[in-house]
A and B are shown apart, each in its own frame.
Chain A
Amino acid sequence: SQTIHQWPATLVQPVGSPLSLECTVEGTSNPNLYWYRQAAGRGLQLLFYSVGIGQISSEVPQNLSASRPQDRQFILSSKKLLLSDSGFYLCAWAKWEGTEAFFGQGTRLTVV
């Protein structure tokens, strides 16, 4: 069966510090991978998606970047965090484009 792992679960970082969140998927190959952000009590905003290694599409201009160095690894990064980067970050995978996505447990990021 397929599983998705996302870490860390919680993170407190000072403004201006770098960020690296990692997500890995097991039990499938060539998944579509997604990063979403969820502000408190709000819906999910799609940040990045990837249909293959090295292929990243960005949905909104922001202080973040994503990379996919391996087929089942998706990384969310920032060189310098802003206060507004605080939120709940969710990684997800889907087998094919546009099909149901399955989510990791999320990372609660607080920038102080």
Chain B
Amino acid sequence: GQQLNQSPQSMFIQEGEDVSMNCTSSSIFNTWLWYKQEPGEGPVLLIALYKAGELTSNGRLTAQFGITRKDSFLNISASIPSDVGIYFCAGPLMKTSYDKVIFGPGTSLSVIP
């Protein structure tokens, strides 16, 4: 079936470092969503992207909608300990009558103080 792939699978970084992660698919997406999930909580929407090439920021987070519409990137600048969590990309997968949102496997981020 259709899948989203995320890399890296996990990251261990020092506080203050910048973070980059990406999400790719063999299918074209019209919307890209980035979520963060902390342990024991539901995912929280960080950024939504709607147009190829779009670059959107939310505080220290910046995400881009790849020009091919098959990928997206999330960057976190000057990481802090509260950035720890799993970051998921997601997108609506077109079906015959309606879309459903599918998720990538996630990138686990650990920040070392």
Contacts and interface: CB of A to CB of B under 8 A. Distances in A.
Interface residues of A, number: 26
A101 B31 CA distance: 12
Interface string A25-39: 000000010101000
A100 B103 contact: no
Contact of A42 (B31, B45, B101, B105): B105
Interface residues of B, number: 25
Contacts of B90: 101
Nearest to B3: A43
A104 B44 CA distance: 9
Nearest to B103: A44
Interface stretch (A12-20, A67-75, A78-86, A90-98): A90-98
A43 B99 contact: no
Given A98-B98, A100-B33, 17 more contacts: A6-B42, A34-B100, A42-B105, A42-B106, A43-B105, A44-B88, A46-B100, A97-B92, A97-B99, A98-B31, A98-B94, A99-B31, A101-B45, A102-B45, A103-B35, A105-B41, A106-B42
